[in-house]
Amino acid sequence: MADRLFLNGGKRLQGEVRASGAKNAALPIINAALLGDGESQLEDIPHLRDVIHLQQILEHMGVRVSYDQGVMTINPQQAHFAEPPYELVRKLRASYYLLGVLLARNGEARIALPGGCAIGNRPIDLHLKGFKALGAEIHLDHGVVEVRAPRPLNGARIYLDYPSVGATINIMLAACGARGQTIIENAAREPEIIDLANMLTVMGARIKGVGTDIVKVEGIERLGATQHRIIPDRIESGSYMIAAAATRGDVYVRNSLCEHLKSLLAKLKEMGARIEEDIEGVRVTVPNCLRGVDVKTLPHPGFPTDLQPQMMALLTQAGEGTSLVIETVFENRFMHVDELKRMGADIKMDGRGALVKPSRLSGARVWATDLRAGVALIIAGLSAEGETQINDFHHVERGYEKLEEKFKGLGADLHLE
Ligand code: UD1
């Protein structure tokens, strides 16, 4: 397995790239197809490690899954839903969505606590609090979560202490199988949650308020199968836009929804990049010198934490001005800082803040500590003089489809080994 990316910096990115379907929408939506009583067809599912692992988990549970050219069909009718092996579950954080789905469907589930990127503690207490409010009993034993409930579950009013994406989704999934209404207060508002709700609604679910902080779900006995196209990956398209700005390039990112990227586009404009939006995508060019800006990550519609590392790499390339980056979503999401420093970045950290000064980067051996940190290193490497070697590249392949091909298409000089 190729696990190192080599790249030569100093090339302007130019041309067009298409963003794939959103990983973070695809994962809950694939799980949600298990609630249907027939074969669902999902389009624009990105070919990613996380998706392949989820497919393997479903197949282990007897679900019939086929995947070809971005189209996944899922038929849960013959499934036995046996507990998936830990070896598979640990590879994929989003396997916890099976808890909500199986609770709604079968009234019980047993899943090992999930893996995923090592960006902080990442507890699932809010998910479990929601399940409990719906009437489930919860047992945690040696890293395995067991949820069990009388069927159907009972709708409830649940206040989330934090607008967690995963908890909002998991509770919505479980609530589809509950009797009566569930109200999620302080719900997350990410576009991927809206995509999931759109799909569930076509399957017959009654969901109101997604995209606001109060989501209402009216449980229903049976959901049907459906056909659904996944929304574009805003984090992937944002990463290409940032890479374009960092190399002072000229890139059109097709299949981008500007409404999902408002905070990033505002920051790029503030830095001095030119942004041209049309119905299909966004073009990013850099007419003048870039300025440093301050960035604070927040739940949607604030600046996404999943673009913070990439943005930090870009901020090292501002021609003038110091930038302050504040991370509020995950407590340990500055692991890329040490790697950027190996390349010559001038960054000072203090708790959840990092002060970034414009710096000349030079190629170095660095390590991708997690998915988005890895892409930040690509962006830094593209802006640097000389060769960069990014080790542990498997993290990046969890979330970026055809990354090597797409960057090469824009003129980047890189290859996997
Ligand atoms: C999802 C995304 C991830 C993104 C994150 C924030 C997927 C598969 N992953 O992750 O790419 O970075 O949203 O936009 O969609 N928390 C708790 N208790 C809980 C749940 C969360 O304390 O029960 C905390 C987390 O530790 C974190 C914060 O809430 O500090 C945000 O987490 P959450 O929104 O749940 O992120 P994920 O769903 O894990």
Q: What is the pTM of this model?
A: 0.96
CA of 218 from ligand 1 middle (Å) equals 25
What are 344-378's pLDDT values in tens digits? Answer: 999 999 999 999 999 999 999 999 999 999 999 99
Go through the chain and tell me how many residues it has: 417
Q: Enter the DSSP assignment of 107.
A: S
% the chain with pLDDT above 70: 98
Q: Please choose, from the candidates 97, 329, 299, 266, the residue with its C-alpha nearest in 3D space to the C-alpha of residue 189.
A: 299
The per-residue pLDDT for 114 is 67
The per-residue pLDDT for 1 is 65
The continuous run of DSSP H or E covering 262 comes out as: helix 262-271
**Which protein residue has the closest C-alpha to ligand 1 atom 4?**
306
Q: How far does CA 243 lie from the centroid of its chain? A: 18
CA of 377 from ligand 1 middle (Å) equals 23
- Whether 113 and 137 have beta carbons less than 8 Å apart is answered as no
**Which protein residue has the closest C-alpha to ligand 1 atom 11?**
306
Return the structure tokens found at 151.
Answer: 């069927």
The set of residues, in sequence order, having a beta carbon less than 8 Å from that of 69 and lying 6+ positions away, is none
Q: What is the mean pLDDT of residues 306-328?
A: 97
What are 198-214's pLDDT values in tens digits? Answer: 999 999 999 999 999 99
Tokens 């030569």 found at? 8
Cis preceding-peptide flag for 76 (omega within 30 of 0): no
Report residues whose beta carbon is within 6 angstroms of any ligand 1 atom.
24, 27, 94, 120-127, 162, 164-167, 188, 304-306, 329-330
